[in-house]
Amino acid sequence: MSTVTRRLYLSLFLSFLSLFLMLSGCSEGKHEVKRVAIPVDSVTVIDGDTIKVKMNGKEDTVRLLLVDTPETHHPRLGKQPFGEEAKRFTERMIENAKTIELEKDVSERDKFGRFLAYVYVDGKSLQEELLKNGLARVAYVYQPNVKYVDEYEKIQKEAQKKGVGIWQWENYVQKDGFHREAVGFVASKNSDVYHPADCDVVNEIKPENRIYFMTEQEAQASGRHRSQVEKCWVN
């Protein structure tokens, strides 16, 4: 083998070795989990899937990656069934937390400028807990931020099978979001009357006491009757 040939083989070997080491490093970095702890008392809950964090005098909005909870105060959609329940759930986890950590994926912010993160409360994934309890759906799955989408979808399927939370009604959760019209009536556990879901009186019922019905027949079958709030029944 000539000197030139040996040099060529050596050059090729070193090139392949360099490429292998570079790819190995990328692979390890991809699966490396880096979480940043934030002060518990710096967190304010906006709704089930959005929080605000204040650090060093600056406030930032954090949007939970890969999940969507029903709205609580959307300017167009208003309040949606289980929106308050999801918000209360997130509030309880945050209020009782000893540690809160944020983990980012690839892209740092969305088009609204919100910081995108996986949120962990005392080591538990807030996203997973919301999904387990039927208070969120897997949504806004956009490359490259898809690190945990497979795990989340498995958890969601279990919640669907159990019919918990938002999965009580077949048509409430759809690809484009939550459809309030699929939930027709709401009652309180402590009352023998029911109201249309879009009645303002519903907002006065504590989320943990709300009972939802798809049809008026279902509401009546529970032994309840129409409320006497006339403005709620005007067509």
The contacts found for 219-228 with CB under 8 angstroms, 24 or more apart, are 219/184, 219/185, 219/187, 219/194, 222/187, 222/194, 223/192, 224/187, 224/191, 224/192, 224/193, 224/194, 225/192, 225/193, 225/194, 226/193, 226/194, 227/193, 227/194, 227/195, 227/199, 227/201, 228/193
- Ranges of the chain with pLDDT below 70: 1-32, 75, 77-78, 235
What pLDDT score was predicted for residue 2? 62
| Whole-number Å distance between alpha carbons of 137 and 173 | 8
pLDDT in tens, 81-90: 899 999 999 9
**Are 35 and 103 contacting, i.e. CB atoms less than 8 angstroms apart?**
yes
Instruction: Look at the domain 36-169 and name its fold.
Output: OB fold (Dihydrolipoamide Acetyltransferase, E2P) (2.40.50)
Do residues 142 and 179 touch, judged by C-beta distance below 8 A?
Answer: no
Q: Looking up tokens 């002060």, which residue turns up?
A: 39
Task: State residue 197's pLDDT score.
Answer: 83
Query: What whole-number distance in Å separates Cα of residue 42 and Cα of residue 55?
Result: 7
pLDDT for 235? 63
Q: What was the pLDDT predicted at 1?
A: 58
Among 40, 31, 30, which residue's Cα sits nearest to residue 101? 40
- What does the pLDDT read at residue 70? 94
Which is nearest to 232 in space by CA: 190, 208, 197? 197
Which residues are annotated as catalytic? 63, 71, 114
Distance CA 140, CA 16 (A): 38
The whole-angstrom separation of Cα 131 and Cα 151 is 11
Domain layout of the chain by residue ranges? 36-169, 184-233
Helix (H, G, I), strand (E, B) or coil at 46: strand
